[in-house]
Amino acid sequence: MEEETYFPDTDHLDFSFTSTITNKSSLSSSARSSFSCKESPTNAPTLYRHIWDPRFAEIKAAAALSADGNLQLSHLKLIRHLGTGNHGRVFLCQLKDHGGGAFALKVIDRDSLNGKKVSHAETEGKILTMLNHPFLPTLYARIEASHYTCFLIDFCPNGDLHSLLRKQPGNRFSLPAVRFFAAEVLVALEYLHALGIVYRDLKPENVLLRDDGHIMLSDFDLSLVADVFPTVNFFRRGKRDRSVGGGCFGSSVGAADDEEVVSEFVAEPVTAFSRSCVGTHEYLAPEVVSGAGHGNSVDWWAFGVFIHELLYGTTPFKGVNNDVTLRNIVSSSKQTTSLHVAEAGISEAKDLIEKLLVKDPSKRLGCTLGAQDIKRHPFFDGVKWALIRQYKPPEMVGGVVAKRVHVGRVKRRRWFWKGLDSLMMRS
C-alpha cells in the first residue's frame, strides 16, 4: 500500500516541512569534539515528507494562529537544555497548546559565528532538506528570528551511542549488538552517499538513539556534497549455506551450489574531492591527515574505526595525545589495535575492520561500490536489509527503554540566552 506524500510549498523557507536537522540529546563529558578548517555550502533539492506523522499537523495548527501563517518561537515552550554542539545549542521543547509531543530545537546564533562556521551551518541546513530516511533526522520547521536560526527536529530521548557504550562491561558491545548498530549506520551512510553526501563525521557521539532503540545520525555541518551517478549492476552469485547465530538478525540459510542473478543499485559519490581538514582526530582517514585530498572513502575508513570502537571499547590508532594519534594513522608500520575478544563471529568482524582500514583509499572496501560491497561481507550474513527497521534492538546495560517524554514546567536558568528568551516569551 502506497503512503500518501506531502509536497511542501518551497516559497516559505522559514517554515519547511521538507527535511530535518538534529543534534545530540545528551553530551558525554568525555565526548570528542570535531574540528574543521574549511567547508563549502551546497544547494539541495526539496523532497516530499509523509503526512502520516501527526506532529506535522500539530505544527501546522500552531502556525495557523500567527499573522503570517508561519511557526514562531513564541509557539514553543522550552523544557530544558540538552547539549551544546560546534555551532549551536539544543533544547527540549514542545508546542504550546497543540499536543504534548517532544521536539528538539537547535538554535544557532549567527552573530557568534565567523565566516567559516556560518558556511558550515548553512551547509547543514541545506543538506538536511534533502533527507527522508528513518535513520536520519526530520526537520519539522525552520525559524528565523532576529540573529537566530532555529531548527525544530526529532528528539531522541535515549542519548547517544557513545554514552551507552561507556555503560557496558568493558566499555564494549557484544558482537550481535555491534552488528545491529553497524548495519543501521551502514544503511544510513548508503542513503547519504546515494544523494552525493559524504558524511565525514561518523563517531558514536553522533549516533543518537530514538525512543524505539533504532539509530539516527546527527550533525551534518562537516559534510561534503558531490555529484553522483547511480547505476544498476547485474551479476550471478552462488547461494551460500551459512548461518550466523542468534542476535538481532537471526540466521540466514541458503541452498549450497545454487546460483542466482542479483541486481544491485549503486550510487556512490566517487567523484567527491576535498582538501578540507575536517573530522574527529581518532576517526580521520590517512588521506585527510596527510592533506593529499580525500573523497567518499573517508566514510568507509570511519566506519571501520566505528566498528572497532564498538567491539573493543577503543579506537584502533589512539595515542597518548592527538599528535600521536595522527602519526599512528598515517604510519605505514602502525597496525590496528589487537585486543582479545573470544566470541563467535569475531574473525569475520576483524576481517571487515581490516578491509575498511586500508590506508590506500583506492583499495579500501567500499571505495567503488560503496555499501553494496560492505553488505556482502560475511560479517553481515543473516541481515535481511529490506526488513532492518523491523529488527528488535539488542538488550544491554543501560539500554533503550521506550518511554513517554515528560515535559513539565519551564525553568528559567542562566543558560538561556537573554535575546532568545525574550523572543520565546513574546505573544
How do the domains of the chain map onto residue ranges?
5-155+403-425, 161-390
pLDDT value for 248: 65
Of the candidates 88, 210, 246, the one whose C-alpha atom is nearest the C-alpha of residue 138 is: 210
pLDDT value for 342: 72
Distance of CA 422 to CAs 73, 87, 111, 412, 415, Å? 10, 21, 17, 12, 13
How far is it, in rounded angstroms, from Cα 271 to Cα 130?
A: 19
Largest CA distance in the chain: 71
* Range in 18-27, 198-207, 324-333 the model is least confident about: 18-27
Distance of CA 139 to CAs 48, 165, 191, 206, Å? 12, 27, 17, 17
Can you name the residues that pair with 95 across neighbouring β-strands? 76
Predicted confidence (pLDDT) at residue 64 exceeds the cutoff of 70: yes
* Range in 193-197, 205-209, 238-242 the model is least confident about: 238-242
pLDDT value for 423: 67
Of the candidates 142, 137, 130, 107, the one whose C-alpha atom is nearest the C-alpha of residue 42 is: 130
pLDDT value for 10: 26
Of the candidates 134, 141, 132, 138, the one whose C-alpha atom is nearest the C-alpha of residue 154 is: 138
pLDDT value for 299: 97
Predicted confidence (pLDDT) at residue 13 exceeds the cutoff of 60: no
Looking at domain 161-390, its CATH class is mainly alpha
How far is it, in rounded angstroms, from Cα 281 to Cα 189?
A: 20
DSSP three-state, residue 34 = coil
pLDDT band with cut points at 50, 70 and 90 for residue 425? low
What is the DSSP annotation of 90-114? EEEEEETTS---EEEEEEEEGGG--
Residue 299: φ, ψ to 5°: -70, -35
CB of 209 closer than 8 Å to CB of 109: no
Supply the DSSP symbol for 32. P
Q: In a 10 Å sphere around its CB, with 0-12 CB exposed, 13-18 middle and 19+ buried, how is residue 347 labelled?
A: exposed
* Range in 88-97, 106-115, 318-327, 409-418 the model is least confident about: 409-418
pLDDT band with cut points at 50, 70 and 90 for residue 288? very high
Active site annotation includes 201:
yes
Question: Which is catalytic among the residues 201, 299, 373, 381?
Answer: 201
Is 161-390 in the same CATH topology as 5-155+403-425?
no
* Range in 60-69, 126-135, 229-238 the model is least confident about: 229-238
Of the candidates 188, 201, 183, the one whose C-alpha atom is nearest the C-alpha of residue 31 is: 201
pLDDT band with cut points at 50, 70 and 90 for residue 252? very low
How far is it, in rounded angstroms, from Cα 132 to Cα 40?
A: 23
Hey, what's the cell of 13?
A: 523557507
206-239 per-residue burial string, b: 16 or more CB within 10 A, e: under 16: bbbbbbebbbbbbbbbbbbbbebeeeeeeeeeee
How far is it, in rounded angstroms, from Cα 267 to Cα 263?
A: 13
The mean pLDDT value for 138-165 works out to: 91
Higher pLDDT, 110 or 380: 380
Predicted confidence (pLDDT) at residue 166 exceeds the cutoff of 70: yes
pLDDT in tens, 349-382: 999 999 999 999 999 999 999 999 999 999 999 9
Higher pLDDT, 80 or 243: 80
Predicted confidence (pLDDT) at residue 244 exceeds the cutoff of 60: no
Q: In a 10 Å sphere around its CB, with 0-12 CB exposed, 13-18 middle and 19+ buried, how is residue 24 labelled?
A: buried
How far is it, in rounded angstroms, from Cα 156 to Cα 229?
A: 33
pLDDT band with cut points at 50, 70 and 90 for residue 208? very high
The mean pLDDT value for 59-81 works out to: 87
Average model confidence (pLDDT) for the chain? 79
* Range in 2-11, 61-70, 388-397 the model is least confident about: 2-11
The mean pLDDT value for 167-183 works out to: 95
Question: 38 a known binding residue?
Answer: no
CATH node for 5-155+403-425: 3.30.200.20
The mean pLDDT value for 225-243 works out to: 72
